[in-house]
Structure 1
Amino acid sequence: MPSPTRRTVLALGALTGALLVSGCTEDHRDPDRGRPDPDLPLRRRAVAATDALLASYDAVLAGPGTDRADTLHDLRADVEEHRAALAAGLPSAVPSGSAPASGSATPSGPAAVPAAASVAASVAELAAAERRTAAARLADLEAASPDLARLLAAVAASGALHARALGDSGPVTAPAPAPSTGTTASGSASASATASGPVTAQASPQTSASGAASSRPAPLPSGATGALQAALAAEHAAVYGYGVVGARTATGPQRDSARAGYTAHQARRDALQRLLEDAGSTPTAAAAGYRLPFAVTDADGGGRLAAHIEIQLTAVWVDAVAATTGALRQTAATALRETALRAAQWGADLSALPGLPGTGASDGASTTAGASASPST
């Protein structure tokens, strides 16, 4: 890992975005289009799944001899926040904190809370339920509006954090994208990607008068391009920041974690550069220098910087979820989840909705909220 060779600094500020607090008209129709809100069934399904988790938390907490009651109560409080955010705008939603009894259906959707036999009876079962539910959130990303997709991705990232905190380190597997070419209904270009691997733009074949397919790349919509360029700029800064972390850390587990973070952000940076180039855009270049949010003189400061970097990146990637669709949206959700997990590994106290504005997290750094990434001059 290269050490910094000059005084350069990093300040990854959380990008602002509007937290979804949407409502519905009295007849639950979109006033602009005069038809039912397509997010309603997705919200109902998400609320039902959240009620099932709440029932599982209650069952485990009521069980004999649990020695993790404080942790379980804290995680359950996060799930309550998830439910409140997901139920916003639902007609006749069950009030937060009133999860139906086992086996009863929630009034806000067709899905039912699991029968008693399906409710988690142990911490290990609860951890697995958190991981499965997080994966299920991702299945609805493509059909969701940008704001709901942002929320679902944040809730899925939180679920992955819960599963890890409870001892389940299995992968949260996103559904494989359906093969397609061209643009989706909302105008975003399709892409081929794995849950954790590189992303590449998939050009839409264009047939010329002679019948030959053009090799010209399909451009990304402007919203997606802007969000991905912002993510690339943040990943450039993260690569530099992890160079600082590694330079201040002695050989051992913390340095190994720093090297792993450095490598992961290099891979994300390189994948974004290829994606933008393949789509015909000029990737954002790294700045000559970056402003650190605080002085880093030892391993403790390096750990705080790593946590700070990851927390700020959650805001970048949650916005990328909203700006993209299809495989690109899944890739952005994966990046959000991975950066949240790394933030927790570095000791950050993440909010119930990682990356969303108005939901703070503590990384031990004294920084100004909302500051933008600023190259040094």
Structure 2
Amino acid sequence: MPAGPGPSRRTVLGAAALTAVIALPALCGCSGDDPVRAAAPGLDVVVLSGAIAAEQDLIARYEAARAAHTSLAKRIDPAIAHHREHLGVLRRHYVPGSGRQATDAPATSTSPSPQRVPDVQAKALASLRTAEIQTAARYAADAGKSAPGLAQLLASIGACAAGHGASSTSGVAKKPMTQPSTASLPPARGFTLEALQAALASEHAAVYGYGVLGSRLSGGQYEVAQTYWNAHRVQRDSLMALLTARQAKPVAAAAAYRLPVRVTSTRTAAQLATRLEDDLTVAYVGLAGAQDAQLREQAARAAQESMTSAVRWRTTGDLPLTHPAFPGLPASALSPRPRPGH
């Protein structure tokens, strides 16, 4: 893995290029006179109801673990607070009667099942991590089924869940984006084009940054950094191929980047890696608002992978294990104004 030149003469990390976000769409369906069709909930409402139930379940799991192991409170209270924030926002996005549904979604009123907590603290924490990872995987899949605005919200919440589900050794497996197996792809335009280019710019910066920080690591840490460096190179090439297939010219890498952290030690190397992965999380949450369903799901998954990688580097550098409840999601997206279905 090359060490790369030092901080430089070109712009800050490419993830900062993605600041715009599409407005979250109304959760509504088409009107009609068919009573059977009118009674069916819209797909976004189904996904949203499932997400509400999933957050209720996670909160119940955490509260049960906290009651059984009171010494865990300090460690798990931040996760409980995040999931309560998630639940509040998801409920604001749900409007009874929207999406061709005439009544409240059952998930908004039912109580979670009683939770069985392992007697050993370590096993209780492992159980919570497993539940977080499973929920995050569900959100990535649901992002591909949802309208772009809701997909972004799910991608952001899923990234937060992945962060809570990560352990100190997590985050070295990254799956590159793949293009659909169709003969021709629609041209990338508008928001989708901008989001793809922003993700690519962030990957360019990550490849450069990992080349720099690798020079300050040795042994197992160097091998981990090399694994990430290679993974980001593959992801960069995959995004370039996606843009080319969609009749767009991929944004070029800068000759060098002014990095946000000056790498002088193992700890600052971990700080830089954390910043790189955090910026990628932002970029991929943005890309989850693309028009292409497969791209939305893959972007949501990539956001989770970057968040998990950031947790790993925070642990390596003995940095605070904190992240926002809605990584990559602007405040304007938290209070939608959906309208009832017709």
Q: What CA distance in whole angstroms lies between the structure 2 residues aligned with 1:83 and 1:171?
A: 30
Structure 1 residue 294 displacement after superposition: 3.9
Q: What CA distance in whole angstroms lies between the structure 1 residues aligned with 2:194 and 2:297?
A: 17
RMSD: 3.2
**Aligned residues between the structures:** 301
Structure 1 residue 297 displacement after superposition: 2.7
> Aligned runs of 1:112-127 on 2, under 5 Å?
112-116=110-114, 119-122=115-118, 123=124, 124-127=126-129
Query: Is 1:146–1:323's contact at 8 Å kept on the other side of the alignment?
Result: yes
Give the aligned residue type for 1:48: A
> Which residue among 191, 207, 227 is the counterpart of 2:195?
227
- Report the counterpart of residue 17 of structure 1 in structure 2: 20
Q: What CA distance in whole angstroms lies between the structure 2 residues aligned with 1:305 and 1:203?
A: 38
* Structure 1 residues 150 and 334, CA gap change in structure 2 (3 angstroms): same
Give the aligned residue type for 1:134: A
Q: Could you tell which deviates more after superposition, 220-229 or 236-245?
A: 220-229
> Aligned runs of 1:65-214 on 2, under 5 Å?
65-91=69-95, 108-111=104-107, 112-116=110-114, 119-122=115-118, 123=124, 124-165=126-167, 196-204=175-183
> Aligned runs of 1:344-359 on 2, under 5 Å?
344-347=311-314, 349-358=322-331
Q: Which has the higher helix share?
A: 2
Residues 1:51 and 2:56 are matched in the alignment: yes
Give the aligned residue type for 2:212: V
Question: Any idea what the Cα deviations from partners look like across 1:286-324, whole Å, max 9, x if unmatched?
Answer: 122222224333332222111111111111111111114
Which protein, 1 or 2, shows the higher relative CO under an 8 Å CA cutoff with sep ≥ 6? 2
Structure 1 residue 221 displacement after superposition: 3.4
Structure 1 residue 18 displacement after superposition: 4.4
Task: Normalising by structure 2, report the TM-score.
Answer: 0.77
Q: What CA distance in whole angstroms lies between the structure 1 residues aligned with 2:57 and 2:212?
A: 44
Query: Is 1:21–1:85's contact at 8 Å kept on the other side of the alignment?
Result: no
Question: Tell me, which stretches of 5 or more residues in structure 1 are unaligned?
Answer: 94-106, 173-194, 205-216, 360-377
Query: Is 2:188–2:243's contact at 8 Å kept on the other side of the alignment?
Result: no
What secondary structure sits across from 1:140 in the alignment?
Answer: helix
Give the aligned residue type for 1:199: T
Structure 1 residue 256 displacement after superposition: 2.5
* Structure 1 residues 163 and 298, CA gap change in structure 2 (3 angstroms): closer
Question: Any idea what the Cα deviations from partners look like across 1:164-203, whole Å, max 9, x if unmatched?
Answer: 25x996999xxxxxxxxxxxxxxxxxxxxxx824412433
Q: Percent identity between the aligned chains?
A: 35
> Aligned runs of 1:202-281 on 2, under 5 Å?
202-204=181-183, 217-222=184-189, 223-247=191-215, 249-281=216-248
What secondary structure sits across from 1:2 in the alignment?
Answer: coil
Give the aligned residue type for 2:59: L
Question: Tell me, which stretches of 5 or more residues in structure 2 are unaligned?
Answer: 33-40, 98-102, 119-123, 315-320, 333-342
